[in-house]
Amino acid sequence: MAPPITINFPSHTGVDFVPTAHHDTYEAVNPSHADLAGKVVLITGASKGIGKGIAIAYAQAGASGIVLLARNKSGLEATRKACLEAQRPGQNLVVLPLSVDVANTKEVQAALKEVEDTFHRLDIVINNAGLLDNSKSLGDADPTEWWNIWSVNIKGVFNISHAALPLLIRSSEGLKTILNISTIGVHALTEGLSAYQTSKLAILRLSEFIQMEYEDKGIICFTLHPGLIATDMAYQLPEDLHVIFVDTVEIAAHSIVFYTKERREWLGGRYISAQWDVDEFSAKKDEIVAGDKLKVRMVV
């Protein structure tokens, strides 16, 4: 286990919303405690990094079907093999890797049709795919690159959610959960990250819309900060920021399994963090619901 680490983020970012912050996995979120037999999970950005870790964690949690979406075919194959190696004895896991650009509406629609034909159900969607700025101020940014970040981070989440909703709704006794990956950075202003931070902030609001419009259909949609993880994408940031990458892939992946392994209606429309201790966080449920906390609001 990694030693305790203090990260100097302002209180309004939620960094100290619960007393204990984790930076590596721990027993309460161990995916071996879950039982997702019969359940099908779709993960975007699944060819490497956090997405690959999430897929492996769902295999460890006993999922019967895992759909892997990304553009990198060789990366998808590596994740597929890792999932099969991680499955439980006798699990008979089916892994469906699909090379898809989440910003391409037709490709996404075709992929979800293949999911339906293969599994006839869908229980959990993890919108993990994302892009990051190259740390240039807005005036120096390439407009095509800037908007491409929004295309992946927002259009991608829209495309996947839009195409997946009918199958999620029809899955009888399903978990019907959409988890969108955001970041603690939405609560801050970091020079050179105007596309990334604004698009990730928009994901919080989009998640609230999905929750509001489809709650009566049984859908649960919320966002999660996965932690500060040293992925290839994170290392695009200036070197002086690399010191903040203190979290493991497993703290994100295992926490995601924990929060989606059963229906948690009270999380609908909210922002949560993989760093928060799950027992301490769950103990604040009544306070969170009564105060309608962890949503985007203007302070007046």
Which one-letter amino acid corresponds to residue 182? S
Q: Is 196 a catalytic residue?
A: yes
241 contacts: CB under 8 Å, gap ≥ 6: none
Question: Checking phi first, is residue 36 left (phi over 0); if not, alpha (psi -120 to 50) or beta?
Answer: alpha
Cβ–Cβ under 8 Å, residues 179 and 256: yes
Least Cα distance to 60 among 26, 91, 32 occurs for 32
Residue 142 burial (C-beta neighbours within 10 Å; 0-12, 13-18, 19+): exposed
CB-based contact 226:181 (threshold 8 Å):
yes
Q: Which residues contact 210 (CB under 8 A, 6 or more apart)?
A: 161, 165, 178, 219, 221
DSSP per-residue codes, 84-151: HHHSPTT---EEEEEE--TT-HHHHHHHHHHHHHHHS---EEEE-------S--GGGS-HHHHHHHHI
Cα(169)–Cα(171) distance, rounded to whole angstroms? 6
Please tell me which residue in 200, 259, 261, 271 is annotated as part of the active site: 200
Place of tokens 């983020």: 9
d(CA 222, CA 54): 16
Active site residue: 58, 196, 214, 259, which one? 196
Name the residues annotated as catalytic: 196, 200
